[in-house]
Amino acid sequence: MVSEDNVIEDSVSVEDDFDGDDYDYDDGGDYYDDDYGDAGDDDDDYCLVEDDDVDDPGAMVSRRPKLGYTVLQEADIKQRQEDDISKVSTVLSLSQVEATILLRHYNWNVNEVHDEWFSDEERVRKSVGLFERPVVDVSYANEFTCGICFDLLPCDNFASASCGHPFCWECWQGYICTSINDGPGCLLLRCPEPSCKAAVGPDMIDKLAPCEEKEKYSQFLLRSYIEDNREAKWCPAPGCENAVNFAVGGGDFDVTCLCSYRFCWNCTVEAHRPVDCETVTKWMLKNSVDGENVNWILHNSKTCPKCKRPIEKNQGCMHMTCTPPCSYEFCWLCLRAWSSHGLATGGFYSCNVYEAEMQKGNVDAEMRREMAKNSFEKYTHYYERWASNQSVRRFSLIFHCMGL
C-alpha cells in the first residue's frame, strides 16, 4: 500500500491562495473557484476562452475548473459507504455483510477488492476470514457445550460465525462488548475459537450486542470509511463532524470546510501557505506547551513505520506490534517488518540487520535522538525568555492604555 506521505510529497501546489467566501457549495458538496484556474502552459489551464466564446456566459461557466476536494457531511459519508458496499456485493455476488468485511479489510478500496478477488478468490477468503461453508457441522445436535463457559445448553442458546463454532449467547455478548469497548479494533473481530480466523461481521453485532455497543460499532465502522481512506480526512475544527475528500495531486492543499474552518489537508493544521508542512510541524512541536512531554517522547520513543504514532518500549523483546487498527509488526531496532526476522537475524532479543547497518555507519538513531534532545533544550532556553518578554510587553501595553 502506498503511504499517504509519499503520495503527498509527489504533489505540487499550483493554485493561488483563496478564501472560503469565494466558493459556492452545490448539492453534491463540490466547491468551485470563480476567480482562479490551475497554472499551466496551455490556454485551457488559465481558463482562457476563444473570441467566439466571449459573448457566451455559458461557455465561461462550463470552463470553470472544479477544485480538487469535496466536503462530506455524515449523510454523504453514509451514502458513499453504502454505495461501495452495494457495488462490491453486486459485482462479486456476495452478501452485504461479506462485502462490508471485504471492504474494511482492504481499507474501503473498491478497485483493490475487485483486483484481489478476481486474482485469487480462495486466498482472499482465507486472509479475510470469509468461509464458504462451516468447518464444524452442528446441524445434528440438540444441545452443545459452550467452548468458553462449558455449560451444556440447548441449541437455541447458541450462535456462530461463518465457521460454525458454537458459543452460547451470553459468552458471545461478553466477547463482543469487550472488543467494542476496547476501541476500533473490534472491526477486525474474529471467532473466539483460538485456532479459527473466521471474521465476525456486522450481522453478528446487530444480533448479539446491546444497543449502546451497536451504536459504538456503527460509529467505528463509519469513521473507518474516512480514517482508512488515504483520500479523505476529518475536519480538525472542534465539534465539526464533516470530512474532506481530496483528489491527491489536485494542487493546493488549503481547503475550507462547511464550518468555515480553513486548514491544510496534508497536515490537518490551520492553513499555512506558503510555509511547507514540515516546517510548520517542527515549529508547532517546538512551541508546544507540553515541552517536557515532547522532550521525553523524542528521547524515549520511536514512531511506528506504518502509521507514525510514537511507541515506547519499556521491557520485553524486539518484536513490536502497533495498536489496532494499525497492528503493524516490526523490529524495534531496525524498524523493518517483523516478517523478515527470525533466528537468522538474531531472534527476539537482537537484530543482525541493525548491527550490520551500525557497522557500516548507515544507522545512527541513538545519536540523532540525543541531538534532537539537546536541540530542543537549547530552543526551550531561548523560547521561554522570548515568551516571558512578550508577556511583559503585552501587560505594559495594557497598563499604558489604561493610563496606569
- As annotated, the active-site residues are 317
- What are the residues whose beta carbons fall under 8 Å from the beta carbon of 163, sequence distance 6 or more? 131, 134, 135, 136, 191, 193, 196, 198
Backbone phi, psi, residue 72, to 5° = -115, 125
Contact 337, 201 (CB under 8 A): no
177, 213 contact by CB (below 8 A)? yes
SS3 content of the chain, % helix, strand, coil (to 5): 45, 15, 40
Contact 113, 102 (CB under 8 A): yes
Residue partners of 315: CB distance under 8 A and separation at least 6:
none
113: left (phi over 0), alpha (psi -120 to 50) or beta: alpha
What count of other Cβ atoms lies within 10 Å of the Cβ of residue 190?
A: 15
380 in Cβ contact with 294 (< 8 Å): no
**Cα 85 to Cα 156: distance, rounded to the nearest angstrom:** 31
